[in-house]
Structure 1
Amino acid sequence: MGELLARAICPACGHASLDAAGKCEVCPVCGWEDDPTQREDPSYAGGHNGISLQEARLNYSRFDLAFPPSEVGV
């Protein structure tokens, strides 16, 4: 039997889609880059993503993406 690997939760979309938390991995579900600074301070918009984690969560609830469709070419 195969070994089950624990997955980390994306802080933007809430899916268990990351190999490890806070390692700057891009979530394949919503496109959020898991910036450890933004994990610590969800209101900080100066990280890798250019928007705050709070804004990304709102975007995900509206668009199923961390970023507005106009920013990702959808």
Structure 2
Amino acid sequence: MEWYEPEDSTPREQCPCCDYISLPERGNYLICPICFWEDDGQDIDELDVSSGPNHGITLREGRANFAKFGACEKDMVKHVISVEERKKFKREIRNIEEN
């Protein structure tokens, strides 16, 4: 099985978990380097739907974990880039209370 790699890896899409513009495209199971969320295409309009690729946690849980630990799950902290490296990425925080 061949691992999917986008043709252009320039970050231009917003991660639904951490809100950083960190993904080259959405919905192709790419992993965000900032929070380690595996993007299955789910977005903040489906906050409470379990995400299979993310070990069954919901996007709401992943977002709360990112706020607490800096990763979508505590066990994933070891995989994310440093806080210093995050500064290279733009972040557009979305208010999930509206959804």
- TM-score of the aligned structures, taking structure 1 as reference length: 0.76
Note closer, same or farther for the CA distance 1:25–1:73 as it changes in structure 2 (3 Å cut): closer
Percent identical residues: 34
Does 2:43 align with 1:42?
Answer: no
Could you list the runs of 5+ residues in structure 1 that have no partner in the other structure?
none
**Deviation of the 1:21 alpha carbon:** 1.6
Question: 1:13-36 CA distances to partner (integer Å, 9 max, x unpaired)?
Answer: 011100012221100111000112
Give me the whole-angstrom Cα distance separating, in 2, the residues matched to 1:31 and 1:67.
8
- TM-score of the aligned structures, taking structure 2 as reference length: 0.59
Read off the aligned partner of 2:76 and give its amino acid letter. Answer: V
RMSD of aligned alpha carbons: 1.9
Could you list the runs of 5+ residues in structure 2 that have no partner in the other structure?
1-9, 79-99
